[in-house]
Structure 1
Amino acid sequence: MKKNIILFVLFMSLTSYGQKKVYYTEDFKELASAKDATYYSIYQESKDGTQRTTYYLDGTIRNSDQFSNLRKHILNGESVNWYKNGNKESILLYTKGKQEGIQTRYYENGQIKRTENYKNDEFIDGKCFDQNGLEIAFFPYYVKPEFPGGMQEFYRYIGKNFKSKNNAKGLIKVDFVVEIDGSLRDFKIKEGLNYDMNVEALRVLFNSPLWIPGKVDGKDSRVKYSIPITIK
């Protein structure tokens, strides 16, 4: 009897962490089935968190990430991306959501492209290489978009152009995308005050001067950005 109880407890511990399969479009909008999907992800729960592995529909692996908290998107452990040909694109390391240690990126032929050393999410140093393995001048992998003149000028622009529609005070937080041409698109209110004040924030952002676009791996790129606007 005691042996049966032990076996039952062991069985329950092994089956309490399940798997689920989720289909996604090319821009990672969730779908109910494989129809119109580009990718699918397998979610594996464990005592350490959630392992998410994403594949193309033909079964070719795309990326694998370990989360200590999936809902809050807190990465913890190794995050690996692959090219479609099966070679690794990057191996990134995280501790409690922060980059920690050597982050390595590769060319499609398998040659190391760059290494960057981080401590507690702070960049320490790095190296860049050409496709033949020769070291070249270092440049950062990611450069944030920037308002002309910096954030001080941005908030000066907001203060000059934002017209309060009522007496509401507080924070409006807006997510958007800075396009390659510097224009702002795809606005989303993440935290707001009321309809009229939120619309005014969107109006001011939509009419913003062109930003200096962000860069990814040395190339101008569409980059997501988030801005808090405090109304006093």
Structure 2
Amino acid sequence: MKKNIILFVLFMSLTSYGQKKVYYTEDFKELASAKDATYYSIYQESKDGTQRTTYYLDGTIRNSDQFSNLRKHILNGESVNWYKNGNKESILLYTKGKQEGIQTRYYENGQIKRTENYKNDEFIDGKCFDQNGLEIAFFPYYVKPEFPGGMQEFYRYIGKNFKSKNNAKGLIKVDFVVEIDGSLRDFKIKEGLNYDMNVEALRVLFNSPLWILGKVDGKDSRVKYSIPITIK
């Protein structure tokens, strides 16, 4: 009897963590079913957090990530991305949301493309290679887009052009995308004050001078960006 109880408790512990399947569009908007979906993700809960594995509809794996806190999107462990042909695209390591250790990216043919060493999310050193495995001059994988003249000039622009509609004070946080042509699009208020002040923040950002482009793996790219605007 005691043995049966132990086995029952063990079985319950193994099955207490849930698993769910979620369908997504091409730009990762959640769907209720597979209709119009491009991807689906399997979420597996464990005592260490959540394992999310994403597939194309035909079952080909796309990426796998381990989160210590999925809601806050805190990566913890190994994150792997695959090319459609099944070869690995990247293996990235995280500790409590920060890059840690050797991050490796690959060409589609399986050859190592670059390695970068991080400690506590700080870049230490790295190497780049061509498709034949020969080392080439290093360049950063990710370059943030930038307002002309830097952030000091950006906030000077905000201060000069933001017209307060009322006496509200505080923080407005806006997400947006810096397009290939340097313009800003896809605005989203993540944290706001009130309708009039939020609209004014969007107006000023929309009319911003063109930004210096961001780069991903050496190529000009659309880059998501988040900016805080403090109203005093």
TM above 0.5, yes or no, is yes
| Cα distance between partner residues in 1 of 2:102 and 2:223 | 24
- Secondary structure at the counterpart of residue 109 of structure 2: coil
Q: TM-score, normalised by structure 2?
A: 0.99
| CA offset digits 1:18-42 (Å, max 9, x no partner) | 2111100000000111110000000
Q: TM-score, normalised by structure 1?
A: 0.99
| CA offset digits 1:157-197 (Å, max 9, x no partner) | 00000000000000000000000100000000000000000
| Cα distance between partner residues in 2 of 1:118 and 1:98 | 9
| Cα distance between partner residues in 1 of 2:18 and 2:38 | 24
| CA offset digits 1:3-28 (Å, max 9, x no partner) | 22212111110110121111000000
| Cα distance between partner residues in 2 of 1:14 and 1:109 | 39
- Secondary structure at the counterpart of residue 140 of structure 2: coil
- Secondary structure at the counterpart of residue 166 of structure 1: coil
Q: Kindly, what percent of the aligned residue pairs are identical?
A: 100
Match of 1:113 in 2: 113
| CA offset digits 1:130-165 (Å, max 9, x no partner) | 001000000000000000000000000000000000
| Cα distance between partner residues in 1 of 2:6 and 2:214 | 57
| CA offset digits 1:56-115 (Å, max 9, x no partner) | 000000000000000000000000000000000000000000000000000000000000
| Cα distance between partner residues in 2 of 1:203 and 1:28 | 27
| Cα distance between partner residues in 2 of 1:18 and 1:156 | 50
Match of 2:16 in 1: 16
Unaligned runs of 5+ residues in structure 1 are: none
- Secondary structure at the counterpart of residue 131 of structure 1: coil
| Cα distance between partner residues in 2 of 1:69 and 1:109 | 34
- Secondary structure at the counterpart of residue 200 of structure 1: helix
- Write out the 4+ residue segments of structure 1 that deviate beyond 3 Å after TM superposition: none
> What displacement does 1:199 show?
0.3
| Cα distance between partner residues in 2 of 1:196 and 1:62 | 42
| Cα distance between partner residues in 2 of 1:11 and 1:91 | 33
| Cα distance between partner residues in 1 of 2:195 and 2:17 | 43
| Cα distance between partner residues in 1 of 2:87 and 2:7 | 42
- Secondary structure at the counterpart of residue 84 of structure 1: coil
- Secondary structure at the counterpart of residue 51 of structure 1: strand
- Secondary structure at the counterpart of residue 202 of structure 2: helix
- Secondary structure at the counterpart of residue 58 of structure 1: coil
Match of 1:168 in 2: 168
Match of 1:133 in 2: 133
| Cα distance between partner residues in 2 of 1:22 and 1:192 | 30
Match of 1:72 in 2: 72
| Cα distance between partner residues in 2 of 1:171 and 1:44 | 36
| Cα distance between partner residues in 2 of 1:132 and 1:7 | 54
- Secondary structure at the counterpart of residue 160 of structure 2: helix
Match of 1:37 in 2: 37
| Cα distance between partner residues in 1 of 2:136 and 2:175 | 35
How many residues end up aligned between the 2 structures?
A: 232
